[in-house]
Amino acid sequence: MTPDMSIVALVLHASFVVQVVMVILLTISIASWSAIIRKLMAIKHIKELNEEFERVFWSGTSLNELFAGANQNAKLSGPMERIFASGMREYQKLRERRITDPGTLLDGARRAMRASFQREMDMAESQLAFLATVGSISPYIGLFGTVWGIMHAFTGLASLQQVTLATVAPGIAEALVATAIGLFAAIPAVIGYNRFAHDVDRIAIKLETFIEEFSNILQRNLGAQSGSSTASGH
């Protein structure tokens, strides 16, 4: 009789160790796809919030109005708005402490924005390490299952006096399924990691550009205020 070589039959007839490897790889694959879907939605949401705030920021709205809006919508704001709010918050705190030196005010605001930037990037990079790990170890886990399955198949054939391709093929095919599942788990994870790493880099560049632009605005405002106070003194 011709042995059943369907995928389901190969999985069911595989050795216990190979089946355990397959279950581990399938679990990893499901977790990987879940992380990929969540990351796709999260990055899309971040981009939309950043673009919306950037549009409002350059629309001519005053910094105080933007800051008030950022405080009211703190839970719904995006990374760029939170970075802006942290810079304005530190800037106003320093002003309330009667600090008038432009360099001190600007450095304080920049430090607060850089700290907020690091927090935002940590959040944006979440799940990337998991996807990188899945992409790197899944093929090796599958390879382990394949090697073990082949060893098990040849051990079972040792007692036979006549070995043909028909007797060898099922055992080897069962073992190779583990490698196929390992690649099935690894390939989407690698593609997702590369895609998301690129998206996160783009987000980081955009946020850093905003920090520089906002710092320039604060510097111009401080220069204008310093110039008006000097003129009033004369």
For residue 172, is it within any domain?
yes
Q: What is the mean pLDDT of the chain?
A: 85
Residue 35: pLDDT above 80? yes
Predicted confidence (pLDDT) per residue in 134-181, tens digit: 999 999 999 998 888 888 777 766 665 565 555 666 667 777 888 889
Residue 4: pLDDT above 60? no
For residue 191, is it within any domain?
yes
**Looking at residue 73, what is its pLDDT?**
83
The structural domain count of the chain equals: 1
For residue 133, is it within any domain?
yes
**Looking at residue 85, what is its pLDDT?**
95
For residue 113, is it within any domain?
yes
Cα dihedral 206, 211, 213, 217 in deg (nearest 10): 150
Predicted confidence (pLDDT) per residue in 49-86, tens digit: 999 999 999 998 888 899 999 888 878 899 999 999 99
For residue 8, is it within any domain?
no
What pTM does this model have? 0.81
For residue 215, is it within any domain?
yes
**Looking at residue 50, what is its pLDDT?**
95
Give the residue numbers spanning the domain of 51.
15-225
For residue 5, is it within any domain?
no
For residue 2, is it within any domain?
no
Q: Which of 7-16, 177-186, 218-227 has the lowest mean pLDDT?
A: 7-16
